[in-house]
Amino acid sequence: MRIALAATCIADTLFPGAPRATVRLLERLGHEVVFPRAQACCGQMHVNTGYVAEAVPVIRNHVTTFAPVADGEWDAVVVPSGSCTGSIRHQQAMVCRRAGLDDLAATADAVAARTYELSELLVDVLGVTDVGAWFPHRVTYHPTCHSLRMLGVGDRPERLLRAVEGIDLVELPGAESCCGFGGTFALKNADTSAAMLADKTAAVRSTGAEVVTAGDMSCLLHIGGGLSRQRSGVGTLHLAEVLASTRDEPTPLPRVRSGAGAGTVEVTR
C-alpha cells in the first residue's frame, strides 16, 4: 500500500522518534510511506479551546494537503495519535459545515474515511497483529482518553503489544483513567491536573515497568514529565517506537532520571 503519514505537530516538533518509527515499521511491513510536506496542525487545539473560526484555515490546510487520498493517489493516511485522528474524523467536517464550506466539508469527510490511527491501520486495514517486533523489556500501556473514548481503538494496541517477542507486558491499574493532560486542561486546571497525574504515575510505578507506552505523545509528555520529576527510573516510548524495535535495529530505552536527592543520576535504561 501507499500510505501518507500525518506526523502530528507535537511529534514533528518535539518527538520526531514517533513518526520516524512509524515510517520504519510500515516500510518493514512492505509498504511505501509518503510525507506531504505542506502538512501542519489538524486544528484540534483550536476547536477544543473554542477558537472554531480560527480553526478553519488550519483545517483547510490539512484537508487540501491530504486530499490525494480521496482521489486514490494514496491508499490511506496514518496518524500516530488517537487524539489527532479523532479530531480529523469527528471535528474537521463539522467545523467546515458550520462555516458554510460544504465542498471543503465533503472533502474532509472523504479524507477522514481513509485516515487511521496507527493501531487501526495495522489491525483493521493491513490485517496484522504480529509485526515482527522484539522488545525485551517490562512495559505497561496507557490507553489515552481520545483513542479510547473518541476513537474507540479498543484493545488493538494491546493485541499488537502482546505479539511483541520478548516483551513483559504488565497491566496498568486504573488504565482507563485520564492522566490529567487534556490539552489546555493542564494549564487551566493545574491543581486538578497535577492530582490526576500523581495517581497515574503512582499506578505506572506500581507495575515495576521500565517503560510506559501509549498512542499519543501529548499524554506521554505529561506522564513522562511527572515520572522524571519523581526520578522514578521509568521512561516513555510511543507505541510505534516499541513496534518498530527489532533484534537487528532495537529501539533504545529512553534516558531517564533515577534515584532521589543528592544521588540523582541520569541513566539510559
What is the per-residue pLDDT across 54-78, written as a single tens digit (0 to 9) for each? 999 999 999 999 999 999 999 999 9
Q: How far apart are CA 61 and CA 190, in angstroms?
A: 32
pLDDT score of 263 = 45
Residue 256's pLDDT is what?
A: 87
Number of compact structural domains in the chain: 2
Q: How confident is the model at residue 260 (pLDDT cuts 50, 70, 90)?
A: low
Whether residue 174 is predicted with pLDDT greater than 80 in this model: the reply is: yes
Residue 247: its H or E element: none
Q: Is residue 88 scored above 60 in pLDDT?
A: yes
Are residues 233 and 189 part of one domain? yes
Q: Is residue 133 part of a domain?
A: no
**Statement to judge: residues 121 and 147 lie in one domain:** no
**Same domain (yes/no): 161, 118:** no
Does residue 96 sit within a domain?
yes
Q: Which parts of the chain fold into alpha helices (H)?
A: 9-14, 17-28, 44-48, 52-66, 82-90, 92-98, 102-113, 118-120, 145, 156-162, 185-188, 190-206, 217-229, 239-243
User: Quick one: average pLDDT of 179-207?
Assistant: 92
**Do 145 and 44 fall into the same domain?**
no
Do 111 and 149 lie in one domain? The reply is: no
Domain that holds residue 98: 2-125
pLDDT at 258 (0 to 100): 79
For residue 139, the Cα-to-chain-centroid distance in whole angstroms is 16
Residue 144, domain member (yes or no): yes
Residue 185 has what pLDDT?
Answer: 85
- The half-sphere exposure of 136 on its side-chain side, counting CA atoms within 13 A, is 5
Tell me if 257 is assigned to some domain: no
